[in-house]
Structure 1
Amino acid sequence: MVSKEWNMKTFMKGASILTISAIIVKLLAAVYRVPFQNLVGDKGFYIYQQVYPFIGIFIIWTSYGFAVAVSKLLASSKSERESKTVKRIALLYLSGLSVLFFTLLMVFAPFLSSSMGDPELTSLLRAGAYIVLVMPMLAVLKGSFQSTGNMTPVAVSNVAEQVFRVSIILIGTWIAVRAGASFYRTGEVAMWGAVIGQAMGVLTLLLFYRNEYKGPAERVNGWYIVKELTLISLSVSASSLILLLFQLVDSFTVFNSLLAKGITSETAMELKGVYDRGQPLVQMGILISSTLALAIVPLIAHHSSKKEGRGAEPFIQLTYRTAFLFGWAAAMGLALVLPYVNEMLFETRDGSVALIIFCFQIFFLSLILPLTAILIGAGKVKIPTLLLFVGLTVKVFANKLLVPRYDIIGASIAGNIGFVIIAVGLLFYFKKVWPLNLASKRFYSWLLLATVAMAAVILPWMIIADGYLFDNISSRIGAALTALTAVVLGASVFLIIIMKVRLFAEKEWYLLPFGRRLAYVQLWLTKKRR
């Protein structure tokens, strides 16, 4: 056991490796979709995005949910012999689950693809099914390292896994497109990239692993281990899975609804591909909130156990204010520049209205992710999980109602409705668990003023830049220059205002990932140099 007292310096050192690796992994996960879409177009992107939620769910459940469950059970083991038994039971149980899910996916792939309205997706589902066979070893190895606080192998494995995955997907797709392969064959190559990436994650962990599954074991309650593995993995994965589950709903409803409306299959595929452009934009937008959940939640859990002082309250308030501020700024900023970002990244401005609406999911998810993580970390599992599935159910019915009327705009609205219900429900429940003032009226007032100022600078600049400054160069380059300069201007104005009025104290910036530089800027702006 580690007896060292936690402080800010110790915490930042302990969290930095995993935080940096998480940022790299999340950035790669979002960014690779842009060159992929550029290679295969909207139809090819539709094909990949239809199937990806199936394998994405297993990736999250394995690399996060089951790994945390294994680490918790190992950390609570009373002896080395008991730990060995837990590992063996976990490996056997997960191996059984993986074989079961693999078989189900292989057998029911034709049924699932037909249910999505596109029988040709069967080969992609079957290729992606192999990823579940990697699940047991990956979860047990990650859990073993996490239980001892050794995060370096986990961080290295996460990055290696994503780098191999992205490289194989992009290189394989480029080769397949050059060879004239069909979009479905190209999508199959992308699925295999995900499988190989997970396998490389296992190989990386094995290089670090020295403990063998040998030697004497201690008798433990096997059913208890199985039950805990299942419950813990599902509860801790719930918030991370919610975006993928919303995507899965879209896979089964959007394309089918467009076809039922009388839109041709080709056009429906392209429309769904345009709609799916919103996924990488949202993933990039929620990077701060998801990283925040990873970095600050352990600190909250530590201070919650303290009897003296205010305990975790200041950290809870900081988490909420940071998630609210950066989630709102990312959603509003992206919405303002979206048409230009759309063309910069995806070649055309198609579907910009739907994508503007889609991007407001960033704000709601920025609240949902850290709040859910804090509640689950405090043992409040049932209500957050229930709220997540209520929101998911609302998304299903809203899609059925709105997509036939408003096409992909309806799907974007439906997603926001589902996330609003989850976010509002979580906030009400959160206030019951911690009856404290999460942010002051002053915070909201200055945030609104900073947003108005950001818009007042961005909108005239984009009109001038697009209409006069960059009108003599190619459309896509002009859009890129307009978008990037607008982002720099808008972000600068927004940050200057919130720093000038000190919405965050310098010591609070220090607690956030990479907040040290922002603290220095704030000190300079407020003339409080040391």
Structure 2
Amino acid sequence: MPSNFGMRGYMRGALLLTIAAIVVKLLSAIYRIPFQNLVGDQGFYIYQQVYPFISFFVVWTSGGFAVAISKMLAEAELSNHSEQQKSFVSQTIFYYLTVLSVLFFAVLFFGANLLASFMGDIKLAQLIQTGSFVALFMPVLALMKGSFQSKGEMAPVAYAQVFEQFIRVFIILVGTVMIMKTTESLYSAGNIAVFGTVFGEIAGVILLFKFLEKKELFKKNKAIGQKRWPIIKEVTLLSISVSMSSLLVLCLQLIDSFTVYSLMIDLGIEESVAQATKGVYDRGQPLVQLGIVIASSLSLAIVPLVAHHSKKQDGRSALPFIQLTYRSALLFGVAASVGLVIVMPYVNTMLFETNALSEVLIMSVLQIIPLSIILTITAILQGMGKLKIPVLIMLGAIFLKAIGNIILVPTIDVMGAAVASNIGLYSCAILLIIYTRKLISNPLAKIDYYIKLFSASFAMIFVVLTGDRLLQTFSVFINSRMEAAIFGMALIFIGAFVFLTVVGKLRLLAEKEWFLIPFGKRMAMYQLWLNKRK
């Protein structure tokens, strides 16, 4: 086994993967803002309708399957299994993934017209067909990522993830600019955006091949006495558990794709108006993604720590890491969500040109709080090896979302879709908290933590609203995008400063805990300065 698979090398590699994941998520959220500015709300609707179909399989295979493969191959290495047996595991998973990818490709490519008609917009069929090709590259991409990770070689995987996303974003933005300057076809712009995802995955495959020392991923031989079904079962369960929180978000978006626009059309709303309205509603997605970046990074960092300490019979238990991760995720989730709520009209205008449906976006960004909890707790439970109950809870959340859309969208339009998402996500988060608390036989946070968090949030709200009133004396209303940007950025800075200052003064997290959080060193030093008299 390579020497870099030791604990020190592993943690260094895990940090590299965490940084890569943060960069990828930031790029994924940020590129949608200029894309929406280029194509408008109708063009954004077109892309967002198809995006969940493509991303679902990408997240499951390139993310979930890659981690599952790495775990299974690493365990085979630790168990001193023969090269023939490890090759059989890789071979079985590759064949299984190939079957899945071909099935997924066939469903999307040949069923594109049917899926588009279900969504109420037959013109989306071409985009679905273009996106279907992404499935064909997933088996080799997942196997290569998993193989590298199983050997502790995290760098190739990290570089590939960032390279994939960079190529994708580059093609989407450059291609969209060219389309809008020539044909100005919104569906063509959406198609080039979907093509960017396909080509990004191809770029990732090419880069990983460059890192391979051998061109062959596994030898074509079969281990005697081994069966394929146990391997298939294990890799399926592991891949779902690893990616289930991300798949939950995509499932909610899929429900929106199938219901929101079609229900509005059924109500007699004009097609262009319904498309634009759905596009404005979809503005909430990049805002939510930006809001959960910290929670995502924490969830990536916590899994190896919880798994390592859960298996130890003596020494420090996993409980302190579990509680710290939960408190940190909730802290930043509340900060991001509440902060966006109080400056939403400015943020909406600053990023998307108009402040249309700001009240709907306010409801949407409230999802940041439960999603921050869900991301971290599912990661904690994954580290503890508890998989079944979280999956059942998330299936319940998806069911609540679907029922909520059907009932609420005909009544209160896209606000109904936002409310339905919140019902599903908050229910899911509460149940996961209850389940986790029973498992660890301890509260995830003490009552005084919630009181202090409420105090910090209230201080931020009070100062920002007071600052908003003062700024309004310089202008009767927001009459330009530049003005919204100036006011919005000023209020965001003031709010963040006040929130972190109160958090530091009340010591919601101890200084040593800040040092355990990615990039928390500066906050620890600031907190020490605030409390230096103590």
TM-score of the superposition, structure 1-length normalised?
Answer: 0.96
Distance of 1:214 and 1:404 partners within structure 2: 54
**1:435-474 equivalence runs, <5 A:** 435-468=441-474
Give runs of ≥4 in structure 1 deviating > 4 Å: 1-7, 9-12, 470-474
Say yes or no: does 1:330 pair with 2:336: yes
The answer as to whether partners of 1:282 and 1:359 remain within 8 angstroms in 2 is yes
Alignment of 1:270-289 (within 5 A): 270-289=276-295
1:30 aligns with 2:33: no
- Structure 1 regions of 5+ residues with no counterpart? none
State the identity as a percent: 50
Structure 2 residue 264 is the aligned partner of structure 1 residue 261: no
Tell me how far apart the structure 1 counterparts of residues 265 and 220 of structure 2 sit (CA, whole Å).
60
Change (3 A) 1:216 1:121: closer
Asked whether the 8 Å contact 2:302–2:379 carries over to 1, the reply is: no
Per-residue CA distance 1:474-507 (angstroms, 9 max, x = gap): 6101101111111110111111111112111111
Question: Hey, what does 2:17 align to over in structure 1?
Answer: 18
Alignment of 1:6-85 (within 5 A): 13-77=12-76, 78-85=81-88
Residues 467, 10 of structure 1: alpha-carbon distance in 2 compared, 3 angstrom cutoff: farther
1:302-451 map, 5 Å: 302-451=308-457
Partner Cα separation in structure 1 for residue 184 and residue 501 of structure 2: 50
The whole-number CA distance in structure 2 between the counterparts of 1:420 and 1:281 is 18
- In 2, the alpha carbon distance for the partners of 1:214 and 1:448 equals 55
> 1:143-199 CA distances to partner (integer Å, 9 max, x unpaired)?
001111211011000000000000000000110010124111111111100000011
Query: Which of residues 516, 524, 530 in structure 1 aligns to 2:529?
Result: 524
Is 358-367 or 181-190 further displaced after alignment? 181-190
In structure 1, the residue matched to 2:179 is 176
User: What SS does the corresponding residue of 1:76 show, helix, strand or coil?
Assistant: helix
Is 1:509 matched with 2:508?
Answer: no
- Could you tell me how far 1:214 is from its partner in structure 2? 5.7
Looking at structure 2, the residues matched to 200 and 392 of structure 1 have their Cα atoms a distance apart, in angstroms, of 33
Q: Residue in 2 aligned with 1:112? A: 115
Match of 2:192 among 189, 193, 198: 189
Q: Tell me how far 1:4 sits from its aligned partner.
A: 9.8
Structure 1 residues 186-235: Cα deviation after superposition (integer angstroms, max 9, x where no partner): 11111100000011111111111113246574413222222222222122
- Secondary structure in 1 matching 2:111: helix
- How does 1:115-126 map onto structure 2 within 5 Å? 115-126=118-129
Letter in 2 for 1:204: L
Superposed CA RMSD in Å reads 1.9
Give the letter aligned to residue 478 of structure 1: E
Report how many aligned residue pairs link the two structures: 527
Distance 1:234 1:16 in 2: 23
Whole-Å Cα distance in 1 between the matches of residues 294 and 478 of structure 2?
34
In the superposition, relative to structure 1, how do residues 281 and 213 fare at CA in structure 2: closer, same or farther (>3 Å)?
closer
Deviation at 1:462, TM superposition (A): 1.8
**1:465-504, aligned counterparts within 5 Å?**
465-468=471-474, 475-504=480-509
Deviation string for 1:420-445 (max 9, x for gaps)?
Answer: 11111111111111111211122111
- Counterparts in 2 of 1:237 and 1:228: CA distance versus 1, 3 Å: same
The whole-number CA distance in structure 1 between the counterparts of 2:3 and 2:135 is: 38
8 Å CA contact 1:11–1:299 kept in 2: the answer is no
Distance in 2 between the 1:186 and 1:466 partners? 38
TM-score of the two chains, using structure 2 as the length reference: 0.95
Q: CA separation in 2, counterparts of 1:214 and 1:414? A: 46
Residues 265/473 of structure 1: CA separation in 2 closer, same or farther (3 Å cut): closer
Shift of 1:253: 0.6
Task: Quote how far apart the aligned CAs of 1:85 are.
Answer: 2.0
* Contact 1:56/1:244 (8 A) holds in 2: yes
